[in-house]
Amino acid sequence: MNIQFNSLPVVPLRITSKYGHRNIGLKGASTFHRGIDLGRDFSKQETEILAVADGVIANNYWNNTRGWVVIIDHGNFKTLYQHLKRQSPLPKGSRVKAGQHIGIMGASTKTIRGMAMHLHFELIYRNKSIDAEPYLKNIVEVEELTEEQVREIVREEIKEALSGNGSEVQGWAKKAWEEETAAGLTTGERPLGYMTRQEGIYLLNKIKKLFGK
């Protein structure tokens, strides 16, 4: 197979879920992973997604499970990038160079609950997804995470979820969020953040007062 990557899709490169059979315990997530998941850069507020080789944008679309997706046609193979934070600014038919910015890492989806920010990256050869890891290793030594490193990543993801940094209300919940913010059931902050126990008690207390119980 004549497949050559000339750039990493994200920097630094950390594989958080490999290609193949898996059970990650998230409702709606695939049990056979047709790509590899790459973690975010914790040193930056946003993680850039880059084209791995020269090509043409074959598709740029929304899917309820995959979220925002970009597919690049490189001639004899394609690459797919999913769960972008927002739609890529590159329209279908645009020519791209290896290392060119194509989007921002996110966690966009409507069907997978509890998913952390990451890039799902697929390599497609002859209309079939194959393992991209060997081709990434041709560029750079892939960082294999220890158990403690994985635990630290999880701790960082939980902290970010609790703080709600950079979170935006999803379209389907926007109207209800605005109404309940006006009603005082929420401050309007951290729409995707987890609720602390004290916030839960405060909310219950507020509801009791509203309903006179």
Q: Which domains does the chain have, with CATH numbers?
A: 15-146 (2.70.70.10), 164-211 (no CATH)
| Cβ neighbours of residue 160 closer than 8 Å, sequence gap 6 or more | 117
Query: What is the per-residue pLDDT for 166?
Result: 52
109, 98 in Cβ contact below 8 A? Answer: no
Query: What is the per-residue pLDDT for 84?
Result: 97
Query: What is the per-residue pLDDT for 143?
Result: 53
Query: What is the per-residue pLDDT for 4?
Result: 92
Instruction: Name the CA radius of gyration of the chain, rounded.
Output: 20
| Cβ neighbours of residue 36 closer than 8 Å, sequence gap 6 or more | 15, 17, 18, 19, 120, 121, 122, 131, 132, 133, 136
Query: What is the per-residue pLDDT for 62?
Result: 97
Query: What is the per-residue pLDDT for 70?
Result: 98
pLDDT by residue for the chain (213 residues), tens digit each? 789 999 999 998 888 888 887 665 555 455 678 899 999 988 888 999 999 999 999 999 999 999 999 999 999 999 999 999 999 999 999 999 999 999 999 999 998 877 889 999 999 999 999 999 999 988 754 455 566 766 666 666 666 655 555 567 766 677 777 887 887 777 777 776 666 777 777 777 877 777 765
Query: What is the per-residue pLDDT for 158?
Result: 63
| Residue among 1, 12, 9, 40 at smallest CA distance from 136 | 9
Query: What is the per-residue pLDDT for 162?
Result: 58
